Chains A and B, each alone.
Chain A
Amino acid sequence: MLSVFNSINNAFCNTLGISSYMQGVVVLMCINIIAVLGMSVLTGFTRLFSFGNAGFMSIGAYTAAILTVRYDVNFLVAIILGAIAAGFVAFCLGSITLRLKGDYFLITCLGFGECVRVLFNWTKNLTGGSAGFPGIPAYSNMLFSVVCCILAFFIAWRFIHSKYGRNLTSIRENEVAAQAVGINAFRTKRLSFVFSAIYAGWAGAIYAGYLMYIVPSAFNLGKSCELITTTVIGGLGSLTGSVLGAILVTVLPEVFRSMANYRMLLYGIAVVLVIMFKPSGLYGYKEFSLKRTIAWFRNIGKGKGKPAAAEGKEDK
Chain B
Amino acid sequence: MFFQQLITGISVGGIYALLATGYSLIYSLLDFSNWSHGEFAMVGAYVAIVFSTMLPFPFLVAAMLGVAGGALVSWLTEKVVYRRIRSTGGPNMFLMIGAMGLSSVFQQAANLIFTGQYRSYPFKLPVSTIKIAGAYIGVLDLISLIITAVVLIFLMYIINKTQFGLNVRGIACNQWGAKILGVKVDSCISKVFILAGCLAGVAGILYGAKYNVWPTMGNIGLKAFISSVLGGLGSVPGAILGAVLLGIIETLVSAYVSSSLRDFFSFALLIVILLVKPSGLLGVDVQDKA
List the interface of chain A (C-beta within 8 A of B). 43, 47, 49, 96-97, 100-104, 106-108, 110-112, 114-115, 118-119, 121-122, 221-222, 225, 228-229, 232, 261-262, 264-265, 267-272, 275-276, 279
Contact = CB atoms under 8 A, between A and B. Distances in A.
Interface bin, chain B: 35 or more
Given A229-B104, A269-B105, A271-B100, A103 B85 contact: no
B264 A229 contact: no
Contacts of A122: 258, 260-261, 264
Contacts of B229: 104, 107
Interface string B203-236: 0000000000000000100100110010001000
B101 A108 contact: no
14 contacts: A43-B93, A47-B93, A103-B32, A104-B274, A106-B33, A107-B33, A108-B270, A118-B261, A232-B97, A262-B108, A265-B112, A268-B103, A271-B104, A272-B102
Contacts of B44: none
Across the A-B interface, the 3 shortest Cβ-Cβ residue pairs: A271-B101, A111-B267, A268-B104
Given A100-B290, A103-B233, A262 B112 contact: yes
Given A100-B274, A118-B264, A272-B98, 20 more contacts: A100-B290, A103-B32, A104-B290, A107-B274, A111-B226, A111-B268, A114-B267, A115-B267, A118-B267, A122-B258, A225-B100, A261-B112, A264-B107, A267-B101, A268-B102, A268-B103, A268-B108, A271-B98, A276-B81, A279-B90
Contacts of B84: 276
Given A47-B91, A103-B33, A108 B274 contact: yes
B290 A101 contact: yes
A119 B90 contact: no
A276 B290 contact: no
A270 B222 CA distance: 23
Given A103-B33, A110-B222, A276 B108 contact: no
B277 to A, nearest CB: 12
Q: Which of A107, A265, A269 has the most CB of B within 10 A?
A: A107
Interface string B261-274: 10110011011001
Contacts, number: 123
Q: Identify which of B32, B104, B260, B270 gathers the most chain A CB atoms within 10 Å of its CB.
A: B104
A275 B104 contact: no
Among B27, B219, B233, B267, residue most surrounded by chain A Cβ atoms (within 10 Å): B267
B275 interface: yes
Given A103-B233, A232-B97, A275-B85, A115 B274 contact: no
A103 B274 contact: no
A121 B112 CA distance: 28
A69 to B, nearest CB: 24
Contacts of A271: 97-98, 100-101, 104
Contacts of A111: 226, 267-268, 270-271
B94 interface: yes
A96 B274 CA distance: 9
Nearest to A221: B219
B187 interface: no
Interface string B75-92: 000000100110010111
A296 B275 CA distance: 51
A229 B101 contact: yes
A268 B94 contact: no
Given A102-B92, A110-B222, A225 B267 contact: no
A112 B267 contact: yes
Contacts of B32: 103
Nearest to A115: B267
Contacts of B92: 102
A87 to B, nearest CB: 19
